[in-house]
Amino acid sequence: MSLVAVGTVAFDNIETPSGRADRVVGGACTYISLAASYFIKPVRIVSVVGDDFPEEMLEYLKKRGVNLDGLQIREGEKSFFWAGKYHRDMNTRDTLDTQLNVLATFDPILPASYRETDFLMLGNLTPQVQIRVLQQLKRRPKLVVMDTMNFWMDTALADLLKVLKKVDVLTINDEEARQLSGEHSLVKAAKVIHKMGPKFLIIKKGEHGALLFHRGEVFFAPALPLAEVIDPTGAGDTFAGGFIGWLAKTNDISFPNMKRAIIYGSAMASFCVEKFSIERLRGLTPAMIEKRVEQFSALVHF
């Protein structure tokens, strides 16, 4: 099955209680495509960088089966940059700096080969860009998954609601689900959000796991209890990449297979947080991933 992923490719400065990493590779699309590449190839990405983005990293992505035809490289411009500092609990963070750079004028152009895709992952970006991507598709994908955040609920709600109508699966965190729905109970929030478009709602709760809601049914996947979390950056995107990667690989969007996809996404995210940046996502093997999925099974089986 074909898979297109849209999102940022960027540099991050990250400070966590475990240490810091400066000017490391980040961006939603980077994490999504790397995670998905363990399940399906190619992963076609739509993104933008400046000419400061390391050639070595682009080569590495290609080697992992990431198709860069939809990646714009802007000469004389700088890549998107984000700097953040995590609090002790790792569930909350402060943004210290955001430099949009190439992202400020980003207009996503889908190469012809991208315009008929079975699976589409809309990473967290301004809803306007997400709409522009949807407009270029020749046919509706089998499954559209969308990630977003509270910032767009605050500043671009009308556009966000437009995108939501065209989306099958929405992934947001618990506070965002509450904000979007106006309901405190996540069960009630899911009902409200289903009516906005997405038949499936995934609520990400960080170290507390993830919930999947679909037509009154609910599934829960825990996060793996880890001795040490080094850097949570990109965990949600890695989760999304593993999730849609598994679905694209198996070409099965039934509720039971969505559950498995969530476990694969959670497994990929559990690797992601063990090192800074994308380091831990390099050099995984299918056996390592399967072993971790078995740990999730043991964790909840009774």
Q: Which residues bind a copy of itself (CB under 8 A)?
A: 17, 88-89, 184-188, 205, 208-209, 211, 218-222, 225-229, 256, 259-260, 262-263, 297, 299-302
- Name the DSSP letter for residue 138: S
Non-local CB neighbours of 8 within 8 Å, separated by 6+ positions: 26, 27, 28, 29, 30, 47, 80, 103, 123, 124, 125
Q: Which is nearer to a copy of itself, 85 or 188 (CB)?
A: 188
CA dihedral sign of residues 142, 145, 153, 131: negative
- C-beta closer to a copy of itself: residue 60 or 219: 219
Which residue number, 55 or 228, has a Cβ lying nearer to a copy of itself? 228
* Alpha-carbon dihedral 35, 151, 260, 39, rounded to 10 degrees: -20
Mapping DSSP to helix (H, G, I), strand (E, B) and coil, where does residue 141 land? coil
Q: Which is nearer to a copy of itself, 161 or 293 (CB)?
A: 293
Min dist CB 256 to a copy of itself, Å, is: 8
Is-contact 208 223, C-beta < 8 A? yes
CB of 213 to a copy of itself, least distance (A): 8
Q: Helix 174-181 vs helix 186-196: angle between axes, to the nearest 10 degrees?
A: 60
Alpha-carbon distance of 244 to 301, in angstroms, equals 24
Nearer to a copy of itself, 59 or 290 (CB): 290
Both tokens assigned to 95: 């943004």
Q: Which is nearer to a copy of itself, 216 or 283 (CB)?
A: 216
CB of 258 to a copy of itself, least distance (A): 9
Residue 7 φ then ψ, to 5°: 170, -170
* Closer by beta carbon to a copy of itself, 42 or else 232: 232
Residue 145, helix vs strand vs coil: strand
Residues 85 and 93: beta-carbon distance below 8 Å: yes
Find tokens 């983005």 and name the residue: 53
Least distance in Å: CB of 44 to a copy of itself? 28
> Cα 42 from chain centroid?
17
Shortest CB 300 distance to a copy of itself, Å? 4
> Is 131 or 192 the residue whose CB approaches a copy of itself more closely?
192
Nearer to a copy of itself, 6 or 177 (CB): 177
Q: Confirm if 157 and 132 have CB atoms less than 8 A apart.
A: no
CB of 145 to a copy of itself, least distance (A): 18
Rounded to a whole number of angstroms, the minimum distance from the CB of residue 40 to a copy of itself is: 20
Strand segments, DSSP code E, in 113-197 are: 119-122, 143-147, 169-173
Question: CB 266 → a copy of itself: shortest distance, Å?
Answer: 10
Q: Could you tell me the smallest distance in angstroms from the CB atom of residue 298 to a copy of itself?
A: 8
